[in-house]
Amino acid sequence: MGRRSERLSKQGMLASDLAGDGDVIQVVSRAFDVLRCFEGHEARLGNLEISNRCGLPRSTVSRLTHTLTRMGQLVYLPRDQKYRIGPSAVAMSTSMMRGLQLRNLIRLRLQDVAEQLPGTVGFVIPDRFHLVYLEFARAANALGLHESTGSRIAMASTAAGHAYTAALDVDVGDALLAEMEREIPAGAKLLRPRIEANRRFLREHGYVVACGLWSPHINGLAVPLWSPQYQTFVVVTIGLLSAMYDEKRLHKEVAPRMLELGAAVGATLEGADGDIFSNRLEGKSLPVPTQNNKIIKTEDADELEAGTRRPRPARSVRARDGRR
């Protein structure tokens, strides 16, 4: 009986520890939800505005903003009775940005395409149900889409989001969709009917298109790239006026240039010593179109296809894992 009681006691302690870990994870997750509400260093928000934006009770938001203010992540403005991003958060972001020295090279790659196509070309990374622009470029005559560095775009209604979700392992992508259905059902309703077709098209052509989802006036095309440092995909994407570039023209004129851009950005990342990502990307080429738009593959298998063949353990959607 003594050993059994000891064993049960240890199991109870373990369950208690796990419950405690779960509480901590929830608090940290909610704190990041609060910080995400501040788009730009100049944004000023009160507890009610934050509560409305992130869907948390105002009492919970009040406790979180108080703690984040004590940590220096937020600053309270008594005159406005609002908060803004604090020095610790700015210092953290500045420290991270200092390591991204190759971003100028990537921006030049994006600008090369932007000078050929009158749209906005971007390099984005996933953030839960959104993607964030790390870099962008547009020609002087670009119309209709004006994103900038730090802009957040919805995963469910953009070409970049559709390319990202299509590139994920099927089980991870399905889990992300299930989570989306619980938290933003409208987004999941938009994405779910298209995900299988997106997966097939990505396997065959190396890119994904989305026409008129974000706006009836905007058509988009995107190419996902694997990042072993973040264990997820980053995406190069372009948005163009639908009146100028219908879906047929996207496939014929835009896709070859975007696939070449994906290969160029991938090569830039691969040749880096980790200025953008700490580790090198694996030596796998992206598919590059020939004159007749067929895909040429190098001796190494295409990264997306190679990923589907290698057995891997299940990965956390929260950590944005999942590779095809």
pLDDT for residue 24: 79
pLDDT for residue 160: 96
Mean pLDDT per 10-residue section of the chain, whose length is 324 residues: 48 43 78 83 84 91 92 88 82 57 82 90 89 85 65 91 95 93 92 96 96 87 80 88 91 96 83 44 37 34 35 31 48
pLDDT in tens, 122-154: 999 888 888 988 888 987 766 655 666 778 889
The number of beta carbons lying within 10 Å of the beta carbon of residue 292 is: 5
The number of beta carbons lying within 10 Å of the beta carbon of residue 129 is: 18
pLDDT for residue 274: 44
Report pTM.
0.62
pLDDT for residue 212: 83
pLDDT for residue 311: 29
State the Cα–Cα distance between residues 154 and 170, nearest whole angstrom.
20
pLDDT in tens, 40-77: 656 889 999 999 988 899 999 999 999 999 888 888 99
Strands lying side by side in the sheet with 152-154: 152-154, 130-138, 120-127, 232-241, 218-227, 208-211
Closest to 132 measured CA to CA, from 9, 234, 56, 248:
234
Torsion sign, CA atoms 182, 39, 166, 242:
positive
pLDDT for residue 303: 38
pLDDT for residue 243: 87
